[in-house]
């Protein structure tokens, strides 16, 4: 296994600059700088290889009662995310596994290979009532390893078979691979997709989201999805004051030209360990701008670096947050975004008479050869007046 403490050259293509300890760990580790100097002298490089463990999920539908999330159930096919976004609010969840929310979060991943099988069983339970099911509520369902494992596609196949509504949020153009399923579901009023684009600046995006698709590819994905008749929107997320907020209108305009009809935004959130990961990244990549960025973050978070209150945590508070809200509102109205949103349908839900063929749990790409840089292990374990359209 790769060292948890690697010299900076080994972090190329990764978002976090360090491997923070899990807050539940009873021990603390420190980097051995002498070893780094020795490795450098010998021209050695310690690489963080993406490792994937197969997880047997006991349940697959997660429930929530959040007052500011427009859905009460979701599915996350993967734990951790290889995109490596420095601001990802899901990073702290890796601490519950005894792993670091830093580099471990983007290099030590878990694939719920039996997700489709578990979903089929849960949808068959007596008394189940269909409602919007979100894909991408935590980690991205179309992160790079989805190409090998195909778990998200297998989940969509089950949802289509049951006639169950689904909303997808992703920053990957890989979602276009499943246009065949999504277009059929959309024709029945069962599917909607949101593409996350925080900025069109390729340099900022490459540093902040190192293994995510470029902004231009995401815009192209919006175009392909809408051309296929799939209702598609854009999420300007996260809005980072003094770093990406200049791009709000340009993102909305470009997305609308590509066919997007809905739009939403999310202010930068820095819960728990995300704060340290983001601040270290910011100081390493934008040292002259870091203090200004964090000063504005404090302005939209009541003098703090984060707030978790329902109703304000997604948008922030204060004068600067209100300015961003108005900018977003005016641009969306000018572009004709969020004018109408036909609700996804629940009346299509039917339990198939015959259960699907038993799955081996590895999705449609089972048997494909894994990429050489990955190691795999097995584990048991609204309306037009509203400035922001609800995601789904």
Strands 73-75 and 62-63: antiparallel
Tens of pLDDT, residue by residue over 314-372, are: 888 899 999 999 999 999 999 999 998 888 999 999 999 865 565 555 544 444 434 44
pTM: predicted TM-score of the whole model, two decimal places: 0.82
Nearest partner of 230 among 200, 268, 209, 259, judged by Cα: 259
Nearest partner of 190 among 343, 344, 341, judged by Cα: 344
SS3 272: coil
Q: So what's the pLDDT on residue 382?
A: 39
What residues contact residue 385 under an 8 Å CB cut-off, 6+ apart? Answer: none
Let me know: does 244 contact 282? Beta carbons within 8 Å: no
- From residue 86, give the alpha-carbon distance in Å to each of 50, 144, 282, 310, 327: 17, 17, 9, 23, 25
Name 24's bridge partners: none
Q: Rounded distance, CA 138 to CA 73, Å?
A: 12
SS3 96: helix
Alpha helical stretches, state H, the chain: 33-41, 103-107, 115-123, 146-149, 151-162, 179-187, 202-208, 215-227, 248-258, 273-285, 290-300, 319-334
How many C-beta atoms lie closer than 10 Å to residue 301's C-beta?
Answer: 23
Tokens 């070893």 identify what position? 35
Q: Rounded distance, CA 47 to CA 343, Å?
A: 47
Write down all domains in the chain, each with its CATH number in brackets.
52-335 (3.80.30.30)
Cα Rg of the chain, angstroms? 21
pLDDT in tens, the chain (392 residues): 333 444 444 466 776 655 666 655 555 555 555 555 555 555 555 567 889 999 999 999 998 877 777 788 999 999 999 999 999 989 888 887 888 888 889 999 999 999 999 999 999 999 999 999 999 888 999 999 999 999 999 999 999 999 999 999 999 999 999 999 999 999 999 999 999 999 999 999 999 999 999 999 999 999 999 999 999 999 999 999 999 999 999 999 999 999 999 999 999 999 888 999 999 999 999 999 999 999 999 999 888 877 777 777 788 889 999 999 999 999 999 999 999 888 899 999 999 986 556 555 554 444 443 444 455 554 444 333 344 545 55
Nearest partner of 351 among 118, 151, 81, 129, judged by Cα: 129
What residues contact residue 379 under an 8 Å CB cut-off, 6+ apart? Answer: 53, 54, 55, 56, 110
């Amino acid at each position: 296994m790769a060292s948890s403490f690697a010299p900076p050259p080994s972090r190329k293509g990764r978002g976090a600059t360090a491997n923070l300890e899990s807050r539940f760990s009873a021990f603390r580790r420190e980097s051995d700088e002498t070893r780094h100097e020795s490795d450098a002298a010998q021209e050695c490089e310690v690489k963080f290889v993406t490792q994937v463990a197969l997880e047997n999920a006991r349940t697959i539908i997660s429930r929530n009662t959040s007052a500011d999330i427009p859905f009460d159930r979701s599915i996350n096919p993967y734990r951790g995310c290889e995109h490596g976004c420095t601001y990802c609010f899901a990073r702290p969840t890796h601490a519950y596994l005894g792993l670091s929310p830093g580099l471990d979060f983007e290099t030590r991943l878990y694939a719920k290979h039996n997700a489709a099988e578990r979903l089929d069983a849960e949808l068959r339970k007596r008394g189940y009532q269909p409602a919007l099911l979100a894909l991408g509520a935590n980690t991205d369902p179309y992160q790079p390893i989805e190409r090998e494992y195909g778990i998200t596609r297998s989940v969509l196949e089950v949802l289509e078979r049951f006639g169950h509504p689904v909303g997808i949020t992703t920053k990957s153009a890989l979602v276009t691979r499943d246009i065949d399923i999504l277009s059929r579901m959309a024709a029945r009023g069962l599917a909607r997709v949101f593409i996350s684009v925080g900025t069109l600046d390729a340099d900022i995006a490459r540093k902040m989201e190192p293994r995510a698709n470029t902004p231009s590819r995401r815009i192209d994905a919006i175009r392909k999805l809408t051309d296929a008749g799939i209702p598609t929107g854009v999420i300007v997320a996260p809005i980072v004051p003094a770093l990406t907020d200049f791009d709000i209108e340009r993102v909305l305009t470009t997305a609308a030209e590509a066919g997007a009809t809905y739009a939403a935004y999310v202010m930068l959130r820095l819960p728990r360990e995300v704060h340290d990961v983001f601040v270290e990244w910011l100081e390493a990549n934008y040292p002259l701008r870091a203090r200004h960025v964090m000063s504005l973050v404090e302005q939209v978070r009541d003098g703090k670096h984060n707030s978790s209150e329902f109703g304000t945590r997604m948008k922030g508070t204060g004068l600067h947050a209100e300015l961003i809200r108005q900018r977003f509102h005016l641009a969306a109205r000018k572009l004709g975004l969020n004018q109408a949103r036909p609700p996804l349908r629940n009346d299509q839900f039917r339990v198939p008479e015959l259960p699907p063929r038993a799955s081996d749990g590895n999705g449609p790409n089972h048997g494909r050869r894994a990429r050489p840089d990955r190691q795999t292990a097995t584990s048991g374990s609204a309306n037009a007046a509203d400035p922001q359209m609800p995601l789904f």
